[in-house]
Chains A and B, each alone.
Chain A
Amino acid sequence: MKISTDEVTKIAHLARLEVEPSQKEKMAEQLSHILGYIDKLKDVDVEGVKLSSGAAFMNNVLREDEVKESPGPLVTLANAPQRDEDFYIVPRVVK
């Protein structure tokens, strides 16, 4: 699998990352190298094999709906980089 620098730009945008122009070539090379190795998965016959989502015992766990105390906005927002009382401040979304 060969990843181009254009693909690096595209993946980075999907991941909300920026890759420095000077680093794109190296990133493309490293990703190609890693994905090239991963291509060996194509050799495995997976016909009819079930997907595994993990190693947990997944069955439904139900419980009564109970009202519990909430930590409240002071605690929840304590680590906000920027806030106004009970609100997070973010750059304007609607222009």
Chain B
Amino acid sequence: MEYHELTIESAGKLLASHQISSFDLTSALIDRIEKYDDEIRSFIIVDKTMALEQAKKADQDIADNKILPLTGVPIALKDLLCTKGIKTTCGSQILNDFIPQYDGTIVNKLKKNGAVIIGKTNLDEFGMGSSTENSSYQITTNPWNKDHVPGGSSGGSAAAVSARFCCAALGTDTGGSIRQPSSHCGVVGLKPTYGRVSRFGLVSYASSLDQIGPITKNVKDAAILMNIISGHDAMDSTSAKVDVPDFTRAFDKFEKGSLKGMTVGIPKEYLCVDGIDPEVEKVFNEAKRIFEDLGVKIKEISLPHTDYVVAAYYIIAPSEASSNLARFDGVKYGFREKVSDDLIDMYKKTKSKGFGPEVKRRIMIGTYALSAGYYDAYYGRASKVRTLIMEDFSKAFGTCDFILSPVAPAPAFKIGENMDDPLTMYLTDIFTLSANMAGIPGISVPAGFSSKGLPIGIQMMGRRFDELSLLRAGYGFEETIGLDKKFPDF
């Protein structure tokens, strides 16, 4: 056994039975980061001293027999989650020196359950992007092929799990930012139902769409993290008062054929999306066959408004962003451009210097869409289309338990390939945006490789608050295809 091979589950067992120490595990992973992350560039910050202190404390707790689900397990966090005393940059120059004075609810929950926070991972600035090329600090590479992007915006978290720099990571997902990089990096990523996980301490991009979720080496670990991060939080007014099941129950007595009785829906509109790579289609068809073998009934369904999802999303998300990001004005925190003695001018110079091009572009789109005279035509209309998209899913889930689709139309593209064409980049989000628009959960599970050796995942979307069915189906799929044991060769 090598330290970097450990999952949350296997590390937990070895730690609890005193076969390894958290200090040795954490040190080994930090050594690995120091050795390989120069090329992957998945971490923005690794606080070695703090991580090793937390590991020592975990070892003491284990010696005292105080063992919680994550005691001593090293976990990475997307640098969009506020961590007390550790810089939280959001991938932006505007927060280059920002040190939060509190832990977000989810960071707090991880720490309370004994986790070691190994570092903060790279992302597209404020979560805006699909490739992690929009970080103002560094471009993360795909551990499977360093000429390619890892996906985004949680590209740093997905690459760090794929490169086995940590047992698991947390990402955030506003339009696919957990599922798409997980697919591109060959790991498991779950976006929970909207409201399942508290957003308190998550720096807001588009508040009606954002969710925090796990990025892990296998489906079981995703369930373990879901058990910890789910639940109502009085600090987030959109957090749902809904019972949280034991998600690891999804794996009780799993055997071939035990998915019998489930029905999977295949949206007919997804099969005629422009520009689907034949290799993605092949992996998707193979996944369908695997589910059939597992006893799942296949049913064609219809999501009639699929063709409008990207357009509605790229009004709603930028509109919310233009409002949310107004707070970065150089007054209360973050960067301030000091050249001016006029207030409005100070705001303008601060924002113009602090934000990168994609963030500015989305603020501009959102400001335009919400401006006098255009509100009804853009935001109003997009919000109504969102209602229709939600109704499509409600109808579909009347006849199936989960929906199967590709995650992205193509495997990870080359670094730089789409940088000058924002719209083309937006269109690659077609399969993932719907889950955010409808507020439903979605999981990406590794399903195959392209001829060039790049991972390809499949997506399952489920009913609201039914992550359990996704974990169950995902686990059945993973057990059959066995890709949870495949990682880049270093």
The answer to whether A binds B is yes
Interface residues of A (CB under 8 A from B): 3, 7-8, 11-12, 14-19, 27, 30-31, 33-35, 37-44, 46, 49-58, 61, 63, 71, 75-76, 78-82, 88, 90-93
- Please name the residue on chain A nearest to B98 by beta carbon: A79
Q: How far is the CB of B441 from chain A (nearest CB, A)?
A: 11
Q: Is B360 an interface residue (CB 8 A)?
A: yes
A80 and B352: CB pair below 8 A?
no
A52 and B311: CB pair below 8 A?
no
Q: How far is the CB of B426 from chain A (nearest CB, A)?
A: 7
Residue in contact with A27 in the complex, picked from B234, B344, B361, CB distance below 8 Å: B361
- Please name the residue on chain B nearest to A74 by beta carbon: B101
**Residues A53 and B383 in contact in the complex (CB < 8 Å), given A34-B365, A90-B331, A91-B343:** yes
A30 and B332: CB pair below 8 A?
no
A57, A58, A75: most-surrounded residue (chain B CB, <10 A):
A57
A31 and B364: CB pair below 8 A?
yes
Q: Is B247 an interface residue (CB 8 A)?
A: no
- Please name the residue on chain A nearest to B381 by beta carbon: A41
A16 and B326: CB pair below 8 A?
yes
* A residues less than 8 Å from B343 (CB atoms): 90-93
**Which of B48-56, B261-269, B386-394, B449-457 participates in binding chain A?**
B386-394
Q: Is B195 an interface residue (CB 8 A)?
A: yes
Instruction: State which residues 381-425 of B face A: CB under 8 Å.
Output: 381-388, 390, 422-423
Q: How far is the CB of B317 from chain A (nearest CB, A)?
A: 12
**Residues A75 and B101 in contact in the complex (CB < 8 Å), given A12-B364, A80-B333:** yes
**Residues A34 and B422 in contact in the complex (CB < 8 Å), given A50-B384, A55-B194, A56-B439:** yes
B367 and A81: CB pair below 8 A?
no
Q: How far is the CB of A3 from chain B (nearest CB, A)?
A: 8
* B residues less than 8 Å from A38 (CB atoms): 311, 314-315, 378, 382
Q: What's the interface size class on B, roughly?
A: 35 or more
B333 and A17: CB pair below 8 A?
no
- Please name the residue on chain A nearest to B310 by beta carbon: A37
Report Cα–Cα, A8/B360, bound state, in Å.
12
A17 and B348: CB pair below 8 A?
yes
Residue in contact with B423 in the complex, picked from A33, A52, A76, CB distance below 8 Å: A33
Report Cα–Cα, A27/B330, bound state, in Å.
24
Residue in contact with B365 in the complex, picked from A31, A51, A57, CB distance below 8 Å: A31
Chain B binding surface SS class: helix
**Residues A61 and B237 in contact in the complex (CB < 8 Å), given A16-B348, A17-B352, A52-B384:** yes
Instruction: State which residues 293-317 of B face A: CB under 8 Å.
Output: 305, 307-308, 310-312, 314-315
Report Cα–Cα, A52/B352, bound state, in Å.
32
* B residues less than 8 Å from A82 (CB atoms): 336
**Residues A11 and B387 in contact in the complex (CB < 8 Å), given A16-B348, A37-B311:** no
**Residues A30 and B361 in contact in the complex (CB < 8 Å), given A40-B308, A71-B101:** yes
**Residues A41 and B385 in contact in the complex (CB < 8 Å), given A17-B364, A31-B364, A34-B365:** yes
A-B contact pairs, 18 of them (CB 8 A): A11-B367, A16-B326, A16-B344, A16-B348, A18-B349, A34-B422, A38-B311, A41-B385, A49-B384, A49-B388, A51-B383, A52-B390, A53-B383, A56-B194, A56-B439, A79-B99, A79-B334, A81-B333
Q: How far is the CB of A8 from chain B (nearest CB, A)?
A: 8
A88 and B385: CB pair below 8 A?
no
Q: Is B346 an interface residue (CB 8 A)?
A: yes
Report Cα–Cα, A75/B100, bound state, in Å.
9
Q: Is B245 an interface residue (CB 8 A)?
A: no
Report Cα–Cα, A90/B438, bound state, in Å.
42
**Residues A80 and B332 in contact in the complex (CB < 8 Å), given A37-B423, A41-B312, A55-B194:** yes
Report Cα–Cα, A90/B234, bound state, in Å.
33
B378 and A56: CB pair below 8 A?
no
Report Cα–Cα, A78/B98, bound state, in Å.
9
Q: Is B340 an interface residue (CB 8 A)?
A: yes
Report Cα–Cα, A39/B148, bound state, in Å.
32
Q: How far is the CB of A29 from chain B (nearest CB, A)?
A: 11
Q: Is B238 an interface residue (CB 8 A)?
A: yes
Instruction: State which residues 41-80 of B face A: CB under 8 Å.
Output: none
A54 and B364: CB pair below 8 A?
no
